[in-house]
């Protein structure tokens, strides 16, 4: 019978085996310490070099709210129009939601890039001078004096980036998020030049507002022409009153579309030129690289130890 303070033989043996295993693991690590240090140093140096070579990025952010103006309510007479058996629009998804989706679409961003010649700083931008505020261009990519693209690319690509390339390069630096509770929208642009980041954020808001402003103005014009034609074709007084009301509403929408600059999104907090970089997080890159190197070094030591022990085990067994 075992005494209360005496451990069963199998438990004592299990503890002893654990101690031996831990001691063996430590011996393997200690024996391969130079390999671990070499791998860790290599990864630490590489991560620091990589972090230092990355240019500073600056983020410019604008806070938006869906416009509550009457110009955004083209469908408010849709019910009355339905009584007349016609359709003048309305009943679609909320305009601000459609504009939000458009803002991130390939067609809109491609048109935006081409309109404001964003491809040049986007692809050829090299360094931003803090003192002058100027962005220098890489002469091997774009010749500013001759206004000529000099990129060396493989076919089917051309020296001048295609619309698809422009979109793929520009879309990651633009981020749009919506707070579902408040309905507020945050639009951010991140680039190596804080001045250009601010300008592009402002222009994106301007363009999306103007696009829907012009779109609804044209829609109101077409609705007025259609309703006027229908009015001329009916002799029923009640129906004539319906058409008069619809035309009046569309005239109001047309006028408001011209007056309201913040047609879809109202700027709550405008973008500013960032004074601090948003990335890269150089210290974090260096720490992660060093830890990764240490883990890989330990893993490599165990692999090498296992590969050396394997033949010895086979020889012993034979």
Query: How far apart are alpha carbons 80 and 250 in whole angstroms?
Result: 13
Claim to verify: residue 260 and residue 288 sit in the same structural domain: no
What is the biggest distance separating any 2 CA atoms in the chain, rounded to whole angstroms? 114
pTM of the predicted model, to two decimals?
0.72
Claim to verify: residue 184 and residue 76 sit in the same structural domain: yes
Is residue 123 within 8 A of residue 169, CB to CB? The reply is yes
Claim to verify: residue 61 and residue 35 sit in the same structural domain: no
Is residue 265 within 8 A of residue 208, CB to CB? The reply is yes
Query: How far apart are alpha carbons 8 and 4 in whole angstroms?
Result: 10
Quick: pLDDT tens for 251-293.
Answer: 776 666 666 778 889 999 999 999 888 888 888 989 999 999 9
Is residue 210 within 8 A of residue 80, CB to CB? The reply is no
Whether the pLDDT of residue 314 is over 80: the answer is: no
Query: How far apart are alpha carbons 259 and 261 in whole angstroms?
Result: 6
Claim to verify: residue 191 and residue 241 sit in the same structural domain: yes
Percent of the chain with pLDDT over 90: 33
Is the peptide bond prior to 156 cis by the omega test (within 30 degrees of 0)? yes
Claim to verify: residue 191 and residue 254 sit in the same structural domain: yes
3-state secondary structure at position 67:
coil
pLDDT tier, 169 (very low <50, low <70, confident <90, very high otherwise): very high
Claim to verify: residue 185 and residue 291 sit in the same structural domain: no
What is the overall mean pLDDT for the chain?
A: 80
The tally of domains found in the chain comes to: 2
Question: Quick one: CA dihedral 137, 139, 140, 144, positive or negative?
Answer: positive
> What is residue 257's predicted lDDT score, i.e. its pLDDT?
64
Query: Domain range holding 46?
Result: 31-54+280-299
Quick: pLDDT tens for 40-53.
Answer: 999 999 999 888 88
Provide mean pLDDT across the span 178-205: 93
């Amino acid at each position: 019978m075992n005494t209360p303070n005496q451990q069963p033989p199998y438990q004592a043996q299990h503890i002893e085996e654990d101690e031996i295993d831990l001691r063996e693991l430590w011996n393997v690590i200690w024996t391969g310490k130079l390999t671990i240090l070499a791998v860790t140093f290599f990864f630490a140096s590489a991560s620091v070099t990589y972090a230092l070579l990355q240019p500073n990025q600056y983020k410019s952010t604008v806070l938006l709210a869906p416009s509550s103006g009457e110009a955004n309510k083209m469908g408010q007479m849709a019910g009355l129009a339905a009584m007349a058996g016609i359709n003048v629009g309305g009943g679609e998804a909320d305009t601000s939601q459609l504009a939000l989706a458009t803002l991130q679409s390939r067609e809109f961003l491609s048109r935006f890039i081409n309109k404001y010649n964003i491809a040049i700083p986007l692809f050829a931008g090299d360094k931003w001078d803090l003192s002058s505020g100027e962005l220098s261009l890489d002469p091997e990519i774009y010749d500013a004096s001759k206004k000529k693209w000099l990129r060396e690319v493989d076919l089917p690509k051309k020296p001048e980036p295609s619309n698809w390339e422009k979109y793929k390069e520009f879309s990651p630096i633009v981020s749009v998020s919506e707070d579902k509770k408040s309905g507020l929208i945050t639009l951010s642009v991140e680039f190596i030049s804080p001045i250009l980041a601010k300008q592009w954020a402002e222009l994106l808001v301007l363009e999306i507002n103007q696009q829907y402003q012009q779109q609804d103005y044209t829609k109101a014009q077409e609705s007025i022409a259609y309703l006027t034609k229908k009015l001329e074709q009916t002799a029923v007084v009640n129906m004539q009153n319906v058409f008069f009301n619809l035309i009046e509403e569309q005239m109001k929408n047309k006028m408001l579309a011209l007056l309201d600059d913040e047609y879809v999104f109202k700027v709550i907090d405008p973008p500013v030129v960032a004074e601090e970089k948003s990335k890269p997080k150089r210290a974090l890159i260096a720490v992660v690289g060093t830890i990764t190197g240490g883990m890989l070094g330990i893993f490599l030591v165990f692999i090498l130890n296992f590969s050396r022990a394997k033949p010895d085990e086979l020889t012993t067994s034979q």
